[in-house]
Amino acid sequence: MSQPTKAPQVVLVGFPNCGKSTIFNALTGGTAKVGNWSGVTVDVKHGCLDLAKQTTSLIDLPGITTLTHLSEEQSLDSHVVHKFLRENHADVIINVLDVSHLQTQLYLTLQLCEMGVPMVVAVNMMDQLDKSGSQLQLECLSELLGCPVVPLVGSRRKGLAGLKKNIMEMLEKPLAASPIQYPPLVEQAIETLMQEGHCQRWQAIQCLCGDFCVLSELTGNQKQLLSRWQSSCGAQLGQEVDLLIIDTMYTWINKQMPILLQGTPKSSAWTDRLDALALHRFLGIPIFIMVMYGLFVFAISLVGGLQDSVGLLTEWLWVDGTTVFLHGLDAPEWLVHILAEGIGRGINTTLTFLPVLLGIYLYLAFLEGSGYMPRAAFVMDRLMRFLGLPGKAFVPLIIGFGCNVPAVMATRTLASPKDRLMTSMMVPFMSCSARLAIFSVFAGAFFPEGGQNVIFCLYLLGIGVAIFTGWLLRRILTREAESPLLMTFPAYHWPRPEVMLRQVYWRVLGFVKRAGRIIIPLSLILSLLTLPAGKSAQPVLHAVSKSVTVLLNPMGIEEDNWPATVGLVSGIIAKEVVIGTLNTLYTHDDKSNQLGQGFGQEIKEYAAWEAKGTQVRHAFTHALGWSSGTSTERAEIESAMGRFALYFHNDASVFSYLLFVLLYFPCLSTLAVIVREVSKPWAIISVFWATGLAYVFAIACYQLLTISAHVGLSMAWLTGCVASVYMGYRLLLALWQREVLGLRTYG
């Protein structure tokens, strides 16, 4: 991260969930910025911290449990922290401790002490200690560690003044040496390594502990030296050296704890009671499902209800508004089309996601702040490991049913890049709410009875394909050791609204900024395809679609149904567009264009635009519950249903078409976040994989449903389908094994 000013850097380090972010927000106020740290996707927040004499830069690092960075495979978080601490020369470290987990957290404190960077220890959540009637000897701890110790109640902003004062003092004086003395032989090993490797004491210690980062920088000679010391320590002391080092620290902690802490801090009765329910042998999974169901009720029904209105509003402003405005300026038709349908539509698509994203993120921020997430990971772990994924991966997949975009973004909570990749590739097959809208229109038109069963069937097929994809990917990405679960259970908290809101704000802003950059250019390309070629000629897309529809024959789409193909292409922007496109094309097909040509057109257009403005207002009042559903809306859907029935010749072809819509091409926004969270090559593979599977599955489905009509032909198609899936798998495997296309760098 490039720092524009040379302000001293103050860094917050501590366990996950120890309250760092709350302290960060309290100290920085509203000045925080999220920066990407050296190309990886873990966000490092930094903001200004004003002290009496000077302004410093405060940095909030992800939570870690140990300074030792164990392997490349391990969580990105610890990698970021480690890199930061070694390269950025923190001027002061604030080590935040959660008082209810003091023993293990002191281990991290001792490791930090060895770094020799000035440090302030902030003991957070002191109110929990008061509740259980125990006492912590802060002065004693301060003396032992050789650095100031400050009591805090971060959530109530207690103790911040003391913390600031101590940071200021620590900027001027260095830290005393670590209190830990290792057995003589280990000390000797550390000394030698320091001299030979020209490194600091803490680096030598981390080296002996097997730290991956430090080890990878050693020369051959140093490595030999290290292994010689490791084996001689092992031989003489009867224990391996890393165990000796850690054991020395814990022995020290054990010795000091009775002096430091009088009485045992109990985890709050509430946490115990809630855990008895949330982690219950039989109730655990039902409770998890209910919590996730709550996500849909809240995010999709309540907040997400605004999606249509926001979509309409932004369309009115950016697409229709641009058209009217440019026509008023007498701009050429092609320019109007590109600006309105390309750039305008891109902005419209990006912004349409805001309500659902807002709803989902708000709910997730609540769950994360409350401490339920680790419990969910614990409960779902065994089930997800059938797929080779950790329990945490269940949450992004579930969110996928609401919207694939936040689902892919939610994969960043997963520790290993492999898990993130697998989950991101599975998410697009979870049927999102936009696809549900398409299904319900078709179900209404073709399956008036039992429509819900058809939709449910599609959902199940989507889940099946996701599992199938996960299973294949797991075979391809030869899995090394799984990242260990080994998790702690933070106490339940009532989340702080300002922390939640800030988190939601960052995430939504991140989406708009980064996804918009990909969505708008892609939407521009699509607009070129639909550019009217001349007064009477059709756009390129329509002409191409008419000839390409033949390809959809095996899934029951006849040539006269070419609008179905156009619908699929325009559905790439966002799946819900499919219905709108089909509706328009079926209405205008074989009819002369009703728009008047020439002079009168602009006035008519403006009037239509104004009328749409009223419609937007209605949509909002409707979404907010201020008026009941409009009958025109229903009538519109009903007339659409009638028209659809003319073009699809049998139910099997409808079902296959819906299956195709479910599986094909992750929408532009999802694609944009896959590019961002995983990598560009994998996003492209996701497109080909999803579209290929959609084609194959839709054909297989149609042929199976109509097998009685033509047994031989169907059997041939089915064999072809199985063969092509297998070939797709072999191709992906070959690409992976040859290490081409940069497939191996992701995450």
Give the helix/strand (H/E) hosting 499. helix 497-529
Beta strands 55-60 and 135-136, pairing class: unpaired
Given the complex with other proteins, which of 74 and 650 has the nearer CB atom?
A: 74
Q: What is the largest CA-CA distance in the chain?
A: 98
DSSP letters for 254-290: HHHHHHHEESPPPPPHHHHHHHHHHT-TTTHHHHHHH
User: Measuring CA to CA, which residue among 505, 291, 283 is closest to residue 394?
Assistant: 291
Four-residue CA torsion sign, 709, 711, 713, 715: positive
- Residue 74 interacts with other proteins (CB under 8 A)? yes
Given the complex with other proteins, which of 100 and 431 has the nearer CB atom?
A: 100
Contact in structure between 64 and 77 (CB atoms under 8 Å): yes
CA angle centred on 88, ends 85 and 91, rounded to 5°: 85
- Residue 68 interacts with other proteins (CB under 8 A)? yes
| Among 374, 402, 556, 747, interactor with other proteins by CB under 8 A | 374
CB of 101 to other proteins, least distance (A): 5
User: Measuring CA to CA, which residue among 634, 303, 689 is closest to residue 472?
Assistant: 689
- Residue 250 interacts with other proteins (CB under 8 A)? yes
Please give the Cα distance from 579 to 570 (Å, whole number).
10
Please give the Cα distance from 32 to 34 (Å, whole number).
7
Characterize 302-333 residue by residue with b for buried, 16 or more Cβ atoms within 10 angstroms of its Cβ, and e for exposed: bbbbbbbbbbbbbbbbbbbbbbbebbeeeeee
Given the complex with other proteins, which of 148 and 391 has the nearer CB atom?
A: 391
DSSP 575: T
Give the helix/strand (H/E) hosting 434. helix 433-446
| Among 242, 560, 605, 633, interactor with other proteins by CB under 8 A | 242
- Residue 66 interacts with other proteins (CB under 8 A)? yes
Given the complex with other proteins, which of 77 and 320 has the nearer CB atom?
A: 77
| Among 169, 191, 247, 559, interactor with other proteins by CB under 8 A | 247
Contact in structure between 25 and 502 (CB atoms under 8 Å): yes
Given the complex with other proteins, which of 198 and 281 has the nearer CB atom?
A: 281
User: Measuring CA to CA, which residue among 358, 242, 383 is closest to residue 302?
Assistant: 358
Please identify, among the stretches 487-495, 605-613, 619-627, 729-737, the one whose residues bind other proteins according to the rule CB under 8 A.
487-495
Please identify, among the stretches 164-172, 237-245, 401-409, 725-733, the one whose residues bind other proteins according to the rule CB under 8 A.
237-245
CB of 359 to other proteins, least distance (A): 28
Residue 224 CB contacts under 8 Å (≥ 6 apart), including other chains: none
Please give the Cα distance from 147 to 179 (Å, whole number).
11
| Among 47, 159, 197, 284, interactor with other proteins by CB under 8 A | 284
| Among 34, 40, 70, 544, interactor with other proteins by CB under 8 A | 70
| Among 52, 235, 329, 486, interactor with other proteins by CB under 8 A | 486
- Residue 231 interacts with other proteins (CB under 8 A)? no
| Among 285, 437, 476, 735, interactor with other proteins by CB under 8 A | 285
User: Measuring CA to CA, which residue among 72, 55, 140, 73 is closest to residue 106?
Assistant: 140
Please give the Cα distance from 309 to 379 (Å, whole number).
38
724 burial (CB, 10 Å; 0-12 / 13-18 / 19+) is: middle
Beta strands 92-98 and 33-36, pairing class: unpaired
Beta strands 135-136 and 261-262, pairing class: antiparallel
Find the binding residues for other proteins in span 377-416 (CB under 8 A).
378-379, 381-383, 385, 391
- Residue 235 interacts with other proteins (CB under 8 A)? no
CB of 382 to other proteins, least distance (A): 4
| Among 7, 16, 42, 73, interactor with other proteins by CB under 8 A | 73
- Residue 246 interacts with other proteins (CB under 8 A)? yes
CB of 281 to other proteins, least distance (A): 6
Residues 586-625, one symbol each (x = binds other proteins by CB under 8 A, - = not), give: ----------------------------------------
Please give the Cα distance from 294 to 297 (Å, whole number).
5
Give the helix/strand (H/E) hosting 577. helix 577-588
Residue 623, both tokens? 């979404």
| Among 489, 609, 729, 736, interactor with other proteins by CB under 8 A | 489
Please give the Cα distance from 421 to 393 (Å, whole number).
11
Please identify, among the stretches 38-46, 264-272, 593-601, 671-679, the one whose residues bind other proteins according to the rule CB under 8 A.
264-272
- Residue 132 interacts with other proteins (CB under 8 A)? no
- Residue 103 interacts with other proteins (CB under 8 A)? yes
Residue 609, both tokens? 């635009």
Given the complex with other proteins, which of 239 and 621 has the nearer CB atom?
A: 239
CB of 479 to other proteins, least distance (A): 13
- Residue 711 interacts with other proteins (CB under 8 A)? no
Please identify, among the stretches 176-184, 280-288, 511-519, 607-615, the one whose residues bind other proteins according to the rule CB under 8 A.
280-288
Given the complex with other proteins, which of 88 and 267 has the nearer CB atom?
A: 267
Given the complex with other proteins, which of 275 and 677 has the nearer CB atom?
A: 275
Please give the Cα distance from 583 to 588 (Å, whole number).
9
CB of 107 to other proteins, least distance (A): 6
Given the complex with other proteins, which of 52 and 481 has the nearer CB atom?
A: 481
Residue type, 696: V
CB of 108 to other proteins, least distance (A): 8
Please give the Cα distance from 476 to 730 (Å, whole number).
9
DSSP 8: P
DSSP letters for 171-191: TTSPPPPPS----HHHHHHHH
376 burial (CB, 10 Å; 0-12 / 13-18 / 19+) is: buried
| Among 280, 513, 588, 634, interactor with other proteins by CB under 8 A | 280
- Residue 370 interacts with other proteins (CB under 8 A)? no
Please give the Cα distance from 601 to 607 (Å, whole number).
10
CB of 215 to other proteins, least distance (A): 11
Residue 459, both tokens? 């959902």
CB of 368 to other proteins, least distance (A): 17
- Residue 227 interacts with other proteins (CB under 8 A)? no
Find the binding residues for other proteins in span 107-126 (CB under 8 A).
107
**Size, binding site for other proteins by CB under 8 A:** 45
Contact in structure between 135 and 226 (CB atoms under 8 Å): no
CB of 373 to other proteins, least distance (A): 12
- Residue 548 interacts with other proteins (CB under 8 A)? no
- Residue 101 interacts with other proteins (CB under 8 A)? yes
CB of 494 to other proteins, least distance (A): 20
Given the complex with other proteins, which of 127 and 558 has the nearer CB atom?
A: 127
- Residue 417 interacts with other proteins (CB under 8 A)? no
Given the complex with other proteins, which of 249 and 668 has the nearer CB atom?
A: 249
Neighbour tally for 577: CB within 10 Å: 20
Find the binding residues for other proteins in span 182-221 (CB under 8 A).
209-210
Q: Which residues bind other proteins (CB under 8 A)?
A: 65-66, 68, 70-71, 73-74, 100-101, 103-104, 107, 209-210, 240, 242-243, 246-247, 250, 264-265, 267, 279-282, 284-285, 374, 378-379, 381-383, 385, 391, 481, 483-489
